[in-house]
Structure 1
C-alpha cells in the first residue's frame, strides 16, 4: 500500500505542474502583450526625440563619468544603474581597492551595486555572440515572467483567477514598468518577493526563507521582504506551528543581505566606509524622509521654479497614488504580510535620499498595493478592462520615453 501511494504521488506531481503552468499562461500572455505595447510606444517617442535634437545629452553615466546622449530606446533600458550592472556582468568586480578602471572610475564603486543580478547575467555573457547587454536582457526577461507568475499566484490565492490576471496586468502598466525589461534588478527582486510572499501564505517556510535570503543579494531594500518573512516566521514559531521550519526561515532570510554588506564593507575598509561611498558618490543615504517631505511640500506650495517641473509633480502624484492604494489595501483586510510588505517598501523608499525621478522605480516592487485596482478591474467587462489596460500601457510607454529623452532625468 505504501509503495502504491508513493507511486500515485509521483504520478500526480507532473500533472500538478502542468496544471499550474496552464493556469498561469493567460496572465503571462497578458503581461507580455502589455509590455511589448508599452515598449513600442517608448521606442516611437525615443525616435521622435532623437530626430528633434540628435545632440541632446540625456543623463550622466556614472560607470564612465560621462554624459550620454541617445539613439534608441536601449538608452532608456540601459541608463544609470543598468550601465553598472552591464559593466559588472561583462567584467566582474575587478581591481584592488584604490585602483581605477580605464575610465578613471574606482573599482570599489562597483561594490555598491548588489551582485545577484549581474552574477546571473555573467554566464550568459560568457557565451559566444552574447554581449553583456543581451545577457542582462535575458535575465530581466526570465525574471519578469517569473514575477508575473508569482503575482498571478498571489492574486488567485487572495481572491480568484481573474484577479490574479489583473494583478499581473496592473504591474505591467505601472509608471516605471520599463525597468522590468531593461538592465535593472526590479524584475528579479519582484520575482523573489512574489514567490517568497506566496510561500509565506502557503506556510512553506524553507522556500520563503531561502528566497528572502537571495533577495538580500539583489538590493538593499530587500530589508522590507526580509523583515516580513522573518516576522511571519517568528509569529509561527511563537504559535508553535510547522515545527522547526519557521526557525530555519528566520535564519535564512537575512543571510544574503548581511553577508554581502559584510563582504563589501571588508573590501572598502569597514561597514561605515561602505555607507560613506554610497552617500558621497551616489547621493544615497537614510535621511528619515527629510528630502522627500521637503520635495512634497515644495511641489504642493510651489515654493520654487524647480518645484513645478513636470518630473517633480508627476512623481509626487505617483507617491500620493501609492499612499492611497496602500491605505485601501489595509482597509480591504488583505493578508497582513502583503500590507506590511507594501508599508515597509514605502518607508524604505521615502525615507532614503534619492532623486525624485527614481521614486516610481523604487516603489515598483511593492506590487501588493495593485491588488486594489486589480480587484476593481476584475469586476469590469472584458471589453472595458481591455480598453483601460491598453490605454494605461500606452501611458506607461509614454512615461518611459518622456522621463529620459524629454525630461533628461535618471530612471
Structure 2
C-alpha cells in the first residue's frame, strides 16, 4: 500500500503506519514535532495523544457498565469486588497464583478437572504484583485485567487508525467496549491480557516490526489456549512475505518472528504433557476433563439443536444469537479483504470457538479477542447520520450494561 500523508494541525503522520512520521516498515525516525519551535514528541506519546478520545470513550463505557453492575450487586447483597475477582474461572487463576498448580476436582461421574487447563501468564503476573504491592490476589488480578484492557483498546485503535483512519478507529474501540459480553474486560479474566498482546502483535506485523510481532505472539500464547491464533497470523504473514519476496528470504528477523510466535503456546502444552506423562497428548487429555475438545462443531451443533427444540436458559439463547452474528460479521470481514494477519487471526479464533465442544455458554467470551469482526460495523457507524449513530450506540450500551449485570449477578450458568 502506498503511504498517504495528511496534515492535522501542525502534526504530520502517516496513516498507513499510525505513528507520526512513521514508515510502513516502522524504521523512520523516532520523534515528531507538535508545533513550530516545539520540542520533539516521541512517537508513542503522539500516538497515545491521538488515541486519547477513543480510550476515554472506552473507559467511560466500561466504568458505566461497572457502576450499573455494582449498584445491582449491592442491591442483592453481593460484594461487587468479589463478583469481579472471584467468579468462575477467576477463582482458578487466583488459586494458581496463590498456591501454584496441582488442584483437581473429581466429579461423581468420574470426570477430573485439573488446573493445568489454565495457562500460566496471568497467574504469574498476579503473583508478581502481590509480591511487590500490598494487595490481595483478587485486587492484583483486577489491576492487571483493567490495565490490559486499556492497552488492548489502544492496540485496537492503532490497527483501526492504520487501516481506516481515526474516526473508524474510535468507533471500533467503542463497539468493542460495548459488546454484550464486554463485562469480562472488567473481571479477573484473561481475555483482556490476550487481546492486548494480540492487538499489538498484529500491529507489529502490519508495520513490519517482526521481532516485536513474534515476542508479543509468544506472550499471547502463554495467556490463553486460543492465543495460538496470534501465532497462526504471524507465521502466515511471515510465510507469505518469504514466498512473495525472494530478496527478503535472508531476513533473519522474519525467520526469528515465525519461530518465536508459537513458542509460548507450545512450551506450556509440552510442559503439561511432560507433567502428566504424555508429552504430546497430555494437555489435550486435561482439556477433555473439562469436556473441551475440537470436534469440528459436532458438539456445538448438538447444543444448537437443544436450544432450538427445547425450552432453555436465556444465556444459551443469547450465546446462539451472538455466535450467529459473529459468523455473519466474519463473512463481512472476508468481503472487506483485510490484511492477511487480521483475516487469519480472526478466522482461527472463530474456528476454535465454533469447532470446539464444551461449555457452549462461554463461546461469546472466547470471541471477545476477535475485534476485527467489528471493522465493518465500525465503518458503517462512521458513515451513518449522527442521530442514527447515537441511537445505535445508546441501544448497544443499554444491552451491554444490562446483560453484563445479568451475567455476573443473576445468570445460572458460568461465563
TM-score range, shorter chain: 0.7 to 0.9
- Greater shift after overlay, 83-92 or 369-378? 83-92
Once residues 185 and 247 of structure 2 are traced to their aligned partners in structure 1, the CA distance between those partners, rounded to angstroms, is 36
Once residues 79 and 30 of structure 2 are traced to their aligned partners in structure 1, the CA distance between those partners, rounded to angstroms, is 53
Partner residue of 2:192?
187
Of the three residues 38, 48, 63, the one matched with 2:65 is 38
- Greater shift after overlay, 184-193 or 35-44? 35-44
**Contact residue 230 and residue 250 of structure 1 kept, 8 A:** yes
**Contact residue 140 and residue 184 of structure 1 kept, 8 A:** yes
Partner residue of 2:366?
362
Unaligned runs of 5+ residues in structure 1 are: 1-7, 52-69, 102-106
Once residues 382 and 122 of structure 1 are traced to their aligned partners in structure 2, the CA distance between those partners, rounded to angstroms, is 46
> Structure 1 residues 10 and 367 mapped into 2: Cα distance closer, same or farther (>3 Å)?
closer
- Greater shift after overlay, 374-383 or 191-200? 374-383
- Greater shift after overlay, 37-46 or 345-354? 37-46
Q: TM-score, normalised by structure 1?
A: 0.84
* Residues 270-296 of structure 1: CA deviation (Å, up to 9, x unaligned): 23333222212x221222211111222
Once residues 21 and 343 of structure 1 are traced to their aligned partners in structure 2, the CA distance between those partners, rounded to angstroms, is 29
- Greater shift after overlay, 192-201 or 372-381? 372-381
Q: Match of 1:305, SS?
A: coil
- Greater shift after overlay, 72-81 or 368-377? 72-81
| 1:22 matched to 2:22 | no
Of the three residues 257, 265, 282, the one matched with 1:273 is 282
Once residues 30 and 53 of structure 2 are traced to their aligned partners in structure 1, the CA distance between those partners, rounded to angstroms, is 27
* TM-superposed deviation, 1:110: 2.7
Once residues 302 and 412 of structure 2 are traced to their aligned partners in structure 1, the CA distance between those partners, rounded to angstroms, is 22
**Contact residue 85 and residue 91 of structure 2 kept, 8 A:** no
* TM-superposed deviation, 1:217: 0.5
* TM-superposed deviation, 1:126: 1.8
Of the three residues 348, 351, 355, the one matched with 1:351 is 355
Of the three residues 160, 163, 178, the one matched with 1:158 is 163
Once residues 61 and 395 of structure 2 are traced to their aligned partners in structure 1, the CA distance between those partners, rounded to angstroms, is 10
Once residues 30 and 222 of structure 2 are traced to their aligned partners in structure 1, the CA distance between those partners, rounded to angstroms, is 34
* Residues 50-79 of structure 1: CA deviation (Å, up to 9, x unaligned): 26xxxxxxxxxxxxxxxxxx5436425531
**Contact residue 183 and residue 404 of structure 2 kept, 8 A:** yes
Once residues 326 and 314 of structure 2 are traced to their aligned partners in structure 1, the CA distance between those partners, rounded to angstroms, is 18
Once residues 86 and 187 of structure 2 are traced to their aligned partners in structure 1, the CA distance between those partners, rounded to angstroms, is 6
- Greater shift after overlay, 173-182 or 13-22? 13-22
Of the three residues 210, 217, 232, the one matched with 1:205 is 210
Unaligned runs of 5+ residues in structure 2 are: 1-27, 33-39, 106-111
* Residues 300-323 of structure 1: CA deviation (Å, up to 9, x unaligned): 4x2x233xx322211111011001
| 1:327 matched to 2:331 | yes
* TM-superposed deviation, 1:19: 1.1
Partner residue of 1:149?
154
**Contact residue 77 and residue 181 of structure 1 kept, 8 A:** no
Q: TM-score, normalised by structure 2?
A: 0.83
Once residues 112 and 330 of structure 1 are traced to their aligned partners in structure 2, the CA distance between those partners, rounded to angstroms, is 32
> Structure 1 residues 385 and 73 mapped into 2: Cα distance closer, same or farther (>3 Å)?
farther
Once residues 87 and 386 of structure 2 are traced to their aligned partners in structure 1, the CA distance between those partners, rounded to angstroms, is 36
Once residues 307 and 163 of structure 2 are traced to their aligned partners in structure 1, the CA distance between those partners, rounded to angstroms, is 37
Once residues 111 and 297 of structure 1 are traced to their aligned partners in structure 2, the CA distance between those partners, rounded to angstroms, is 31
Partner residue of 2:241?
236
Partner residue of 2:11?
none
Once residues 136 and 283 of structure 2 are traced to their aligned partners in structure 1, the CA distance between those partners, rounded to angstroms, is 30
Q: Match of 1:82, SS?
A: helix
Once residues 270 and 237 of structure 1 are traced to their aligned partners in structure 2, the CA distance between those partners, rounded to angstroms, is 35
* Aligned-CA RMSD value: 2.4
Once residues 9 and 370 of structure 1 are traced to their aligned partners in structure 2, the CA distance between those partners, rounded to angstroms, is 32
Of the three residues 341, 346, 350, the one matched with 1:342 is 346
> Structure 1 residues 278 and 260 mapped into 2: Cα distance closer, same or farther (>3 Å)?
same
Query: What pairs up with 1:8-407 in 2 under 5 angstroms?
Result: 9=29, 14-48=41-75, 50=76, 70-72=78-80, 74-93=82-101, 109-238=114-243, 239-240=245-246, 242=248, 243-271=251-279, 272-280=281-289, 282-300=290-308, 302=309, 304-306=310-312, 309-382=313-386, 384-407=388-411
Once residues 30 and 277 of structure 2 are traced to their aligned partners in structure 1, the CA distance between those partners, rounded to angstroms, is 52
- Greater shift after overlay, 373-382 or 147-156? 373-382
**Contact residue 315 and residue 357 of structure 1 kept, 8 A:** yes
- Which is bigger in relative contact order (C-alpha 8 A, separation at least 6)? 1
